[in-house]
């Protein structure tokens, strides 16, 4: 075996070992670690994963909250967007020096673009459309899968976590209060989303402002936005889609 072949083989082994050692649970087309419900079980918002452990991954897309309820984590195509509330505004950081309370992520290189009809306007419309289009492409919606959106929504209501617990154990009420809300209108942006019907309380919130309590509807989406025009990045609470928007779904082998 030549020296070049030995070096290439050694690099491959190191790469495969690193992938095998990657923390988290694999399910469907995604990975995840931690759970939102753990916050309420313990009253704490401790970190369970350092973003540094994912830094070398290519085609990485991820969403989750920063430990201590101190911000939002969004990774779009291996570039982190970390927003944190500071004073009356917020900051945007592109470093990997953050820990997540919980995180859901995927490594996805190939996507299929699908035009979103103008009849799809709201959050629940989008949720149903994503599921239907995934099924049409042979994606098993009984297991979690990622999706992307691109375009200029009419409006997005979104938030950044900010700790307002005052040192008290975190309850669902305190968690709901620990958010700085924002509205973005007409901006060109990208959305990274994860669909799951069976991970409520893990990386899917059972509650979202887009769905009225008692409506009988269940949330199956966790979405973050990244604006192309401003520093807006964070967790989507509600969305009104605009014309010409595109849904991108994974191309499965």
What's the pTM value of the predicted model, to 2 decimals? 0.89
Phi-psi region for residue 73, left (φ > 0), alpha (ψ -120 to 50) or beta? beta
Asked, for residue 18, whether it belongs to a domain, the answer is no
Of residues 16, 50, 17, the one with CA closest to residue 33: 50
Asked, for residue 120, whether it belongs to a domain, the answer is yes
Asked, for residue 166, whether it belongs to a domain, the answer is yes
Q: Which domain holds residue 146?
A: 24-250
Asked, for residue 158, whether it belongs to a domain, the answer is yes
Asked, for residue 16, whether it belongs to a domain, the answer is no
Phi–psi pair at 57, nearest 5 degrees: -75, 140
203 and 35 in contact (C-beta within 8 Å)? yes
215 confidence band (pLDDT: 50, 70, 90): confident
Asked, for residue 165, whether it belongs to a domain, the answer is yes
pLDDT tens, residue by residue, 175-212 = 999 999 999 999 999 999 999 999 998 999 988 999 98
pLDDT tens, residue by residue, 119-169 = 999 999 999 999 999 999 999 999 999 999 999 999 999 999 999 999 999
CATH code of 193's domain: 3.30.1330.80
Asked, for residue 3, whether it belongs to a domain, the answer is no
Asked, for residue 53, whether it belongs to a domain, the answer is yes
Number of domains in the chain: 1
pLDDT tens, residue by residue, 9-34 = 444 443 434 444 457 899 999 999 99
């Amino acid at each position: 075996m030549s020296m070049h072949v030995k070096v290439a083989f050694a690099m491959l082994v190191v790469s495969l070992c690193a992938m095998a050692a990657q923390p988290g649970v694999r399910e469907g087309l995604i990975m995840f670690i931690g759970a939102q419900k753990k916050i309420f079980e313990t009253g704490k918002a401790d970190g369970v994963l350092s973003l540094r452990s994912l830094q070398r991954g290519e085609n990485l897309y991820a969403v989750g909250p920063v430990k201590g309820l101190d911000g939002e984590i969004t990774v779009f195509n291996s570039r982190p967007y970390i927003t944190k509330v500071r004073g009356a505004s917020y900051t945007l950081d592109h470093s990997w020096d953050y820990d997540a309370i919980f995180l859901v992520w995927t490594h996805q290189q190939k996507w299929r673009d699908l035009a979103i009809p103008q009849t799809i306007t709201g959050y629940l419309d989008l949720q149903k459309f994503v599921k239907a289009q995934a099924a049409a492409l042979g994606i098993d919606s009984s297991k979690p899968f990622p999706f992307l959106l691109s375009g200029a929504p009419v409006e997005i209501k979104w938030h950044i976590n900010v700790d307002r617990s005052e040192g008290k154990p975190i309850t669902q009420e305190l968690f709901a209060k620990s958010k700085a809300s924002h509205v973005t209108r007409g901006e060109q942006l990208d959305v990274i989303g994860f669909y799951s019907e069976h991970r409520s309380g893990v990386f899917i919130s059972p509650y979202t402002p887009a769905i009225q309590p008692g409506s009988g509807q269940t949330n199956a989406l966790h979405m973050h936005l990244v604006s192309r025009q401003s520093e807006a990045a964070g967790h989507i609470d509600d969305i009104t889609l605009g014309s010409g928007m595109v849904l991108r779904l994974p191309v499965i082998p």
